Structure 1
Amino acid sequence: MNIRQKKALQTKNKILTAALSLFNEKGFSNVTVDEIIEKTNSSKGAFYNHFKSKHDIFFEKFKEIDHFYLDELLPQLEKDAPANVKLKTFFKIEMEFIESEFGWDVTRSIYEAELNVERESFFLIPDRPLYQILKNLCEEGQEAGLFRTDITSEQMVTILARMIRGILYDWSISKGQYSLSSEQDLLFDVAIRGLTK
């Protein structure tokens, strides 16, 4: 990476960080591109060189989350543990990460932005690493005779993904009044037991 590319990456990260901070402070819909530019002491050209819109900032953050799943979270799962234990561990680490790195208001802002019908929701992109990880764990559980086989691994992923979105939505509209990392334990335990034979 040359000096120019490094500088461009620094500018992009500065804009990303400032925008997320403003979204957290004021709410997504109350923040303008001009405010983000002012906070980062950059230009509109610099902003639009890296992001097509405010929504793209969330898209970039989602990509970071998916890298977190692959690079940080997956290695924490015990290779020899059964699939149900791996799933419980996965959800625990995922929810702790979202609670500590995003908070309820940024999460609420993400949901607000994702409800825009004029663009494809990042939540529904089928080849996200999140969904592939869940599918692999569900298939692993089926192959080991641990999980039921009257529903497909794809259906299991749909159920689990909807539960993830449900708890995050509820937590964000509840303004973080409960611990996400604690609440997820009961919710996903019930779900995983429902997948077992």
Structure 2
Amino acid sequence: MNLRQQKALQTKRKISKVALELFNKKGFSNVTVDEIIEKTGTSKGAFYNHFKSKHDIFLEKFKEIDNFYVDELLPKLDPQESAKEKLKKFFFMQMIYIEKDLGWDVIRTIYENELNTERESFFLIPDRPLYQILYSLCVDGQKKGEFREDLTPEQMVTIFTRMIRGILYDWSINKGEFSLKGEQEALFDVVIRGLMK
């Protein structure tokens, strides 16, 4: 990456960070693109060079999160481990990342935005990398004879994603007052055990 590209990436990250802080503080609908530009000391051209609209800031955040799962978490899973252990490890690392690197404010703001019924929620895009990771782990579990076969891998992914959204929503409305790392262990273990043969 050359110097110009590095500077562009820094500008994009700055706009995204400040916008998320403003959305959290004032509410998504109450923040304008002009306000984001003013607070970041950038130009309208710079904003629209990186984002089509303020909605795209959330889309970029989701892509960043999914890329983290693919680039950072997936390689840490041992191919020799059982599917159950891989899922437990993945969920554990996922919740640590969300709790420490994103925080409940960002998650709450994302959830508020995703409840907007005027456009499709990123949560419902079926080919998200997160869903592909979970799907492959469920297929692996069935191939190895660990997971029950009366559910399809797609149904298992739906169960897991609803569980993830549930714990994150609850964590958000509780203002991050409980540890995701600790809470997920008991909850996810119960769900995973329910899928075992």
TM range (shorter): over 0.9
Q: Give the aligned CA root-mean-square deviation in angstroms.
A: 1.6
Say if 2:5 is the partner of 1:18: no
Verify the 8 A CA contact 2:95 2:181 in the aligned structure 1.
yes
Verify the 8 A CA contact 2:107 2:172 in the aligned structure 1.
yes
Alignment of 1:19-168 (within 5 A): 19-168=19-168
What do the CA deviations read for 1:22-54 (whole angstroms, capped 9, x no partner)?
Answer: 334444344332222112101222212211222
Distance 2:136 2:103 in 1: 28
Query: Which deviates further from its counterpart, 16-25 or 89-98?
Result: 16-25
Letter in 2 for 1:131: Y
Verify the 8 A CA contact 1:27 1:106 in the aligned structure 2.
no
Query: TM (normalized to structure 1)?
Result: 0.93
SS in 2 for 1:102: helix
Aligned residue pairs: how many?
A: 197
Distance 2:84 2:30 in 1: 42
Distance 2:96 2:134 in 1: 17
Percent sequence identity over aligned pairs: 72
Letter in 2 for 1:117: T
What do the CA deviations read for 1:97-126 (whole angstroms, capped 9, x no partner)?
Answer: 011111111111101101111111111111
List alignment gaps of at least 5 residues for structure 1. Answer: none
SS in 1 for 2:146: coil
What do the CA deviations read for 1:125-175 (whole angstroms, capped 9, x no partner)?
Answer: 111110011011001111111100001001000110111111111110111
